[in-house]
């Protein structure tokens, strides 16, 4: 069996400046990978670099997933990679009841969480070796949709369809997704505002796992998908049993 090593691998983490992406970058650096975290906000990238101790194996890159030319430029300048991960999503304004939903907010989420991942594959796949991989982030909303979450549920489901199709088209590259449940990340500041902690605590009482997720839980799952050479076209559910309740 060919071993797929994280140590020494060149890994791009889009959305790596906060939340799950930041936790993943920390984990990958600890395992000896060379990591590039990419995102739109330069100030957040700089803060993430400081949070990660200005690690010698860490680079940052400005990259807007909603702009095809920006993605094409990034890969023209990047050189080779071993793995690509995207945890990015622009959800601001997307969690709304239909009468209050602005189509512009839905479009921003489609651009960041569907077209962006599609373009990462289009321009990034030629830079990956045969044992390389791409890992996306979908979410439990595709399986347990809630009021105010129609846009999020639909986009997550579409992304998972894309994973299966790309796993066939881009083989032997491996294309997978991790599907988190409720994870305590800054994204909840947009979803629940001041009610964030109470909302997460209420869900923790419902879940079979007895708690909501931590960013490190998702980082662990992504590392599995990067390292397991016999897993492709798969959605790995890391949601504390949310689909069961």
Q: Is the pLDDT of residue 191 over 80?
A: no
- Residue 19 in any domain: the answer is yes
Torsion sign, CA atoms 226, 229, 233, 238: negative
CATH number at residue 235: 3.40.50.720
**Which one-letter DSSP state was computed for residue 128?**
S
Residues 14-43 have pLDDT tens digits of 999 999 999 999 999 999 999 999 999 999
**Structure-token pair, residue 243:** 């689909």
Give me the mean pLDDT over the 209-223 stretch. 97
Give the three-state DSSP class for 47: helix
- Residue 4 in any domain: the answer is no
Domain of 180, in residue numbers: 10-244
Q: Is the pLDDT of residue 11 over 60?
A: yes
- Residue 183 in any domain: the answer is yes
The pTM of the full predicted model, rounded to 2 decimals, is: 0.95
Lowest mean pLDDT among 87-96, 182-191, 193-202, 203-212: 182-191
Residues 45-73 have pLDDT tens digits of 999 999 999 999 999 999 999 999 999 99
Strand partners, 58: 35
Which pLDDT score, from 0 to 100, does residue 157 have? 98
- Residue 217 in any domain: the answer is yes
CA 88 vs. chain centroid, Å, equals 5
- Residue identified by tokens 């670099």 is 49
Give me the mean pLDDT over the 185-193 stretch. 76
Which pLDDT score, from 0 to 100, does residue 125 have? 98
**Structure-token pair, residue 211:** 């708690």
**Host H or E run for residue 35:** strand 34-39
- Residue 3 in any domain: the answer is no
Q: Are 13 and 209 in contact (CB under 8 A)?
A: no
Give the three-state DSSP class for 215: helix
CA 133 vs. chain centroid, Å, equals 13
Q: How many residues does the chain have?
A: 245
Which pLDDT score, from 0 to 100, does residue 190 have? 66
Average pLDDT, the chain: 95
**CA 131, CA 51: separation in Å to the nearest integer?**
31
- Residue 2 in any domain: the answer is no
Lowest mean pLDDT among 46-50, 83-87, 90-94: 90-94
Helices (H) and strands (E) in the chain, counts: 9, 7
In the chain, the number of structural domains is: 1
């Amino acid at each position: 069996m060919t071993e797929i090593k994280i140590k020494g691998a060149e890994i791009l983490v889009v959305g790596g400046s906060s939340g799950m992406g930041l936790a993943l970058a920390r984990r990958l650096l600890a395992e000896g990978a060379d990591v590039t975290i990419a995102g739109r906000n330069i100030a957040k990238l700089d803060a993430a670099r400081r949070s990660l101790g200005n690690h010698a194996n860490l680079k940052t890159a400005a990259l807007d997933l909603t702009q095809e030319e920006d993605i094409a430029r990034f890969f023209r300048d990047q050189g080779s990679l071993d793995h690509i991960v995207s945890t990015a999503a622009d959800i601001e304004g997307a969690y709304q009841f239909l009468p209050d939903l602005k189509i512009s907010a839905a479009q921003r989420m489609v651009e960041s969480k569907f077209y962006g991942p599609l373009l990462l594959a289009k321009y990034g796949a030629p830079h990956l070796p045969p044992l390389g991989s791409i890992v996306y982030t979908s979410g439990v909303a595709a399986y347990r949709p809630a009021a105010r979450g129609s846009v999020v549920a639909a986009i997550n489901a579409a992304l998972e369809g894309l994973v299966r199709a790309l796993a066939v088209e881009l083989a032997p590259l491996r294309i997978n997704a991790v599907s988190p449940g409720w994870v305590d990340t800054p994204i909840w500041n947009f979803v629940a505002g001041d009610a964030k902690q109470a909302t997460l605590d209420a869900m923790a009482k419902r879940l079979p796992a007895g708690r909501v997720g931590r960013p490190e839980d998702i980082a662990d799952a992504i590392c599995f998908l990067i390292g397991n050479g016999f897993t492709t076209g798969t959605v790995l559910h890391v949601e504390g049993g949310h689909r069961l309740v």
